[in-house]
Amino acid sequence: MSIETSKAGIVIVGAGPAGIAAAVSAAACGKRVTILDDNPAEGGQIWRGGRAKASTAKAARWFAKLKNSGVTVHASSRLIDANSIACTLRVETANAALTIEYGELILATGARELFLPFPGWTLPNVMGAGGLQGLVKSGLPVKGKRVVVAGSGPLLMAVASQLRKHGAIVPMIVEQANLTSLARFGVSLGGHPGKLWQAITLKASLGSTSYMTGSWVKAAEGEDKVNRIQIQTGSKIRTVDCDYLAVAYGFTPNTELAQLLHCNMKNGFAAVDDYQRTSAQGIFCAGELTGLGGVDLSLVEGEIAGYAASGRDDLARKRFPVRERARQFADGLNRTFSLRPELRALPDSQTIVCRCEDVRYGTLRQADCWRAAKLHHRCGMGPCQGRICGPATQFIFGWKQESVRPPVFPARISSLVLESTYTIEEGVNK
Amino acid sequence: MSPANYDAVVAGGGIVGAACAHELVLSGMRVALVEPSVICGGATAAGMGHLAVMDDSEAQFALTRYSQLLWKELAQRLPVSAEYSASGAIWVAADAEEMAEVDRKHRFYSQRGVPAEILDAQELAEAEPNLRPGLAGGLLLPDDGLVYPPCAARFLMGEAVASGLQIYHGRRVVQVTGNGAQLDDDAFLSATFTVIATGAMAGKMFPAINVQPRKGHLLITDRYPGFLRRQLIELGYLKSAHSLDVDSVAFNVQPRLTGQLLIGSSRQYGSEDPAVDNHILQAMLQRAIEYMPGLAGLSAIRTWTGFRAATPDKLPLIGICPGYENVYLATGHEGLGISTSLATGKILVDQILNRESAISREPYLPERVYALHG
Ligand SMILES: Cc1cc2nc3c(=O)[nH]c(=O)nc-3n(C[C@H](O)[C@H](O)[C@H](O)COP(=O)(O)OP(=O)(O)OC[C@H]3O[C@@H](n4cnc5c(N)ncnc54)[C@H](O)[C@@H]3O)c2cc1C
Ligand SMILES: Cc1cc2nc3c(=O)[nH]c(=O)nc-3n(C[C@H](O)[C@H](O)[C@H](O)COP(=O)(O)OP(=O)(O)OC[C@H]3O[C@@H](n4cnc5c(N)ncnc54)[C@H](O)[C@@H]3O)c2cc1C
């Protein structure tokens, strides 16, 4: 057991766009900044892979700023526990555990993919779009494979386009939002030339891929892996053959750490004020965990949090208008791609909802809240602690996951054992 | 709201309330049970589920043994989700002094017809290869069992519901009178008998019974089938003061049927905050690792806390509540309420119906607490 202790001024958790922007801004104010992330390289979900693999000019620019900022980056460092009274974070690395004290803390823990259960969603080769994207980046061959991309939101087009670049045949994108709401959103893009351009280029690169709106995957079928899916449009159902199904219904925020630190929540996100301050003393939140909004909103929220945590509210205020524009865009996006109620009715009684513990929809229907589903049926009791089935049951049943307990991620028992100064009488039992 | 009429109303939907309601319904009464929160979500969802026989006192022995045999009987009907197993437990002795205690316990149990087997150092190591080398031995109690308490309790409640039990879920008993229970939504459940099975909360409604919450911590791991075979508990308590107000930890691990390990245990007074206390958790885990070094590398997935209902003399309160007529207490089970729930249901209903009981009821009568405090 090797346990070290180090001190730091501003500590940032999460090295995605929000965390990087926060780190760069705080460092520019002359602060000592440490950034922690459990991935081997910085970049978060969207810029995964770090500087070496920067895919856009914007990413490259921010990676360069981070490199020149003097910020200490701890990669492969997973936060497993936090204490807002002692102002400490407990971090697990590949072979050690350390306690880090923070002066100010900025949480930029981002979001994870939202998975909605439907019959067949647990079959091999049915994947989260982000997951498949990652596999393709790291070498999964998709050349000549038929891949259907389904779910909701602009990510579908980006994923389809990447898959095609790697030689996949993408017969269709299945978007659950209606054409009318998409059209409305298209008009509102007028004020955002950058986004418009992005949308047009992606569309242009879609070529023979058809874009089905108001449609969703009703079921995936196959023996040992998916080979056929049913797509529903209104009351019509059509069957399509495929080798892979990439599904993306959007994202759900990683609020566990903020909750453990007693930050107030609002509608499932960390609640923050204009300066990205939470209800907890000295703790700020930026990026997707305060509301889903994409890279640009995350970046500017990160900057504001970085400035505010450094005591430079004046600099933070200068970025308010940029954030406001990004927020408006995000609001439009979230409205356009809000999930239709029909998706709640997709699972049948045999559909597995909790993958860790194999709990099926038919069983869960007997429960009346998250805690009952957990205690009586083991839903969410596995290693992922409801990270996947929690948001799914929230969407389907409206259940709330009330509590977060340490460790926030599975951790070695040795990582939880630190020197304790408390004197305890050992050995008293029953 | 018009008053509902019952023969008995039970406050509290934990395992003790479930066992009492079950027994009352089976005796032919019309029964209601009131639970404000998740059914079986209190201490019953936090405890270890070790069905233990204990020898702290003759009274404790009688109740635990009686209940253990009732569990064996019930086991034949329990659903898989109740995770019942009769895998036995081992009290682990670290040195010669603790081995002497093993001998004493062995005599105690043997004299009373309870199967018990002394393990020497080598037999212990063979029985549980992941214990650290150099331990002195242990006492194997093959009749000890394990259960997943929330599902076992829910099964009892389910059987009772099938025989007519009414559950008032999401409602709380705010006051009891000699003729029923007042709920927080203004409803009054009129009943001949009222049973208080509100666990560690019982002291809130009846301060005079002096039931105190005693906080405990637990940790569950990922699945490691075969790592541990039986419930293991250290005998080390001998070396420390038998104090009732000092925080303590002990090595106590349990193999779940899922292959997971449940690691305990701790005892604290004076805290009613359900948050995990790091210093206690750390001390508890350090202790566990001392006994089982391999635990250090296993993956922990959750920690939590629970509150035992502690009484001054470590025995539960089962019987008429002093100062009341027709109000009965079934609480104060401390760290043994899963084990003794079934026996509690039996002897409580025996009292209500003036039936003979299988064991003497005397030691558990609540009036003794008043005697203790003058
Ligand atoms: C035999 C057994 C086996 C178990 N196996 C597993 C398992 O395999 N996997 C698993 O995940 N769990 C397991 N559990 C534990 C179970 O999931 C709960 O953790 C346990 O019932 C305790 O509930 P809780 O306090 O965590 O309640 P929760 O459901 O977490 O919350 C209930 C209430 O506790 C309070 N609370 C919760 N968190 C905090 C906090 N951080 N600070 C302050 N207050 C808080 C809040 O008031 C909250 O509303 C097992 C339990 C038992 C008895
Ligand atoms: C860490 C730990 C480990 C343990 N290990 C073991 C073990 O290995 N073996 C063992 O036998 N025991 C063990 N126990 C003890 C066991 O869990 C308890 O003794 C047992 O669960 C008590 O059950 P209960 O029904 O009395 O209490 P609870 O399960 O707490 O039920 C009381 C219920 O009353 C309800 N309630 C409260 N107020 C009101 C009101 N005003 N009106 C109506 N309802 C109300 C509550 O919501 C609750 O559901 C352990 C306990 C802990 C904390």
B33 close to B167: Cβ distance less than 8 angstroms: yes
3-class secondary structure for chain B?
CCCEEEEEEEECCCHHHHHHHHHHHHCCCCEEEEECCCCCCCHHHHCCCEECCCCCCHHHHHHHHHHHHHHHHHHCCCCHHHCCECCCEEEEECCHHHHHHHHHHHHHHHHCCCCCEEEEHHHHHHHCCCCCCCCCEEEEECCCEECCHHHHHHHHHHHHHHCCCEEEECCCEEEEECCEEEECCCCEEEEEEEEECCHHHHHHHCHHHCCEEEEEEEEEEEECCCCCCCEEEECHHHHCCCCCCCCEEEEEEEECCCCEEEEEEEEEECCCCCCCCHHHHHHHHHHHHHHCHHHHHCEEEEEEEEEEEECCCCCCEEEECCCCCCEEEEECCHHHHHHHHHHHHHHHHHHHCCCCCCCCCHHHCCHHHHHHHC
Q: Which ligand is nearest to the CA of A402?
A: 1
The HSE-up count of residue B203 (CA atoms within 13 Å, CB side) is 19
- Alpha helices, DSSP H, located in A189-235: 193-204
The HSE-up count of residue B34 (CA atoms within 13 Å, CB side) is 27
Pocket of ligand 2 (CB under 6 A): B 11-17, 34-37, 41-44, 46-50, 52, 172-173, 197-201, 216, 218, 264-265, 306-308, 331, 333, 335-339
pLDDT value at A301 more than 50: yes
A217 close to A150: Cβ distance less than 8 angstroms: yes
Tens digit of pLDDT for each residue in A228-249? 999 999 999 999 999 999 999 9
CB atoms within 10 A of CB B25: 26
Question: What's the average model confidence in pLDDT over A148-157?
Answer: 92
Phi and psi at residue A199, to the nearest 5°: -65, -40
Q: What's the rounded Cα separation, in Å, for the pair B250 and B154?
A: 29
* Token digits of residue A44: 């978060």
- Contact flag A428-B250 (C-beta cutoff 8 Å): yes
> Which DSSP string corresponds to A108-121?
---EEE-----TTT
What residue type is B17 in one-letter code? G
Strand partners, A10: A33, A104
Chain B partners of A410 at a C-beta cutoff of 8 Å? 222, 299-301
The HSE-up count of residue B268 (CA atoms within 13 Å, CB side) is 26
Tens digit of pLDDT for each residue in B161-173? 999 999 999 999 9
Chain A partners of B298 at a C-beta cutoff of 8 Å? 412-413
* A400 contacts: CB under 8 Å, gap ≥ 6: A369, A370, A394
Burial class of residue B223 (count of CB atoms within 10 Å of its CB; 0-12, 13-18, 19+): middle
* A251 contacts: CB under 8 Å, gap ≥ 6: A111, A112, A113, A114, A288, A292
pLDDT value at A382 more than 50: yes
B179 close to B192: Cβ distance less than 8 angstroms: yes
Strands A236-241 and A411-412: unpaired
Q: What pLDDT score was predicted for residue B75?
A: 97
Ligand 2 centroid vs A371 CA: distance in angstroms? Answer: 16
Mean pLDDT score of chain A, rounded to an integer? 89
Q: Angle A294-309/A17-28 helices, nearest 10 degrees? A: 30
Chain B closest-CA separation from residue A375 CA (Å): 7
How many angstroms from the chain centroid is the CA of residue B302?
21
- Contact flag A426-B301 (C-beta cutoff 8 Å): no
What's the pLDDT band for A2 if we cut at 50, 70, 90? Answer: very low
pLDDT value at A402 more than 80: no
Asked if A95 reaches chain B (Cβ–Cβ under 8 Å), the answer is: no
Return the minimum-mean-pLDDT range out of A5-14, A275-284, B277-286, B301-310: A5-14
For tokens 């400035």, the residue is: A307
What residue type is A369 in one-letter code? C
H or E segment and range at residue A45: none
* Token digits of residue B115: 């199967």
A320: left (phi over 0), alpha (psi -120 to 50) or beta: alpha
Question: What's the average model confidence in pLDDT over B339-366?
Answer: 97
Chain A closest-CA separation from residue B348 CA (Å): 24
Q: What pLDDT score was predicted for residue A154?
A: 85
Q: Return the SS3 of A183.
A: helix
Of residues A44, A58, A10, A18, the one with CA closest to residue A302: A18
A18 close to A62: Cβ distance less than 8 angstroms: no
Of residues B310, B289, B287, the one with CA closest to residue B239: B287
Ligand 2 centroid vs A339 CA: distance in angstroms? Answer: 41
Largest CA distance in chain A: 72
What's the pLDDT band for A167 if we cut at 50, 70, 90? Answer: very high
Q: What's the rounded Cα separation, in Å, for the pair B117 and B103?
A: 10
Question: What's the average model confidence in pLDDT over A177-195?
Answer: 69
Q: What's the rounded Cα separation, in Å, for the pair A120 and A350?
A: 10
User: Whole-prediction pTM value?
Assistant: 0.93
H or E segment and range at residue A260: helix A256-260
Question: What's the average model confidence in pLDDT over A160-187?
Answer: 88
Q: Does B272 sit in the ligand 1 pocket, CB within 6 Å?
A: no
CB atoms within 10 A of CB A160: 25
CB atoms within 10 A of CB B194: 26
What's the pLDDT band for B221 if we cut at 50, 70, 90? Answer: very high
Question: What's the average model confidence in pLDDT over B189-198?
Answer: 97
What's the pLDDT band for B342 if we cut at 50, 70, 90? Answer: very high
> Which DSSP string corresponds to A225-256?
S--EEEEEETTEEEEEE-SEEEEE--EEE--H
Burial class of residue B348 (count of CB atoms within 10 Å of its CB; 0-12, 13-18, 19+): buried
The interface predicted TM-score of the complex, written ipTM, equals: 0.93
Of A123 and B207, the one with more pLDDT? A123
Asked if B369 reaches chain A (Cβ–Cβ under 8 Å), the answer is: no
Q: What's the rounded Cα separation, in Å, for the pair A411 and A89?
A: 14
Strands B137-141 and B188-196: unpaired
Burial class of residue A341 (count of CB atoms within 10 Å of its CB; 0-12, 13-18, 19+): exposed
Chain B partners of A412 at a C-beta cutoff of 8 Å? 296-300
- Geometric angle at alpha carbon A32, from A30 and A36, rounded to 5°: 135
Q: Return the SS3 of A179.
A: helix
Question: What's the average model confidence in pLDDT over A122-137?
Answer: 92
Q: Which ligand is nearest to the CA of B175?
A: 2
Question: What's the average model confidence in pLDDT over B41-69?
Answer: 97
Question: What's the average model confidence in pLDDT over A340-349?
Answer: 97
pLDDT value at B71 more than 90: yes
- Contact flag A413-B296 (C-beta cutoff 8 Å): yes
For tokens 């194997």, the residue is: B140
Of A205 and A342, the one with more pLDDT? A342
Q: What's the rounded Cα separation, in Å, for the pair A199 and A204?
A: 9
CA dihedral sign of residues A199, A205, A210, A216: negative
> Which DSSP string corresponds to A271-330?
---TT-B-SSTTEEE-SGGGS--HHHHHHHHHHHHHHHHTT-HHHHHHTHHHHHHHHHHH
Strands B137-141 and B180-183: unpaired
Tens digit of pLDDT for each residue in B74-99? 999 999 999 999 999 999 999 999 99
| Number of inter-chain CB pairs under 8 A, A vs B | 140
Give percent of chain A above pLDDT 70: 90
B23 close to B349: Cβ distance less than 8 angstroms: yes
Q: Does A371 sit in the ligand 1 pocket, CB within 6 Å?
A: yes
Q: Would you tell me which residues 397-416 of chain A have a C-beta closer than 8 angstroms to some C-beta of chain B?
A: 405-407, 410-414, 416
pLDDT value at B333 more than 80: yes
Q: Would you tell me which residues 65-84 of chain A have a C-beta closer than 8 angstroms to some C-beta of chain B?
A: 81, 83
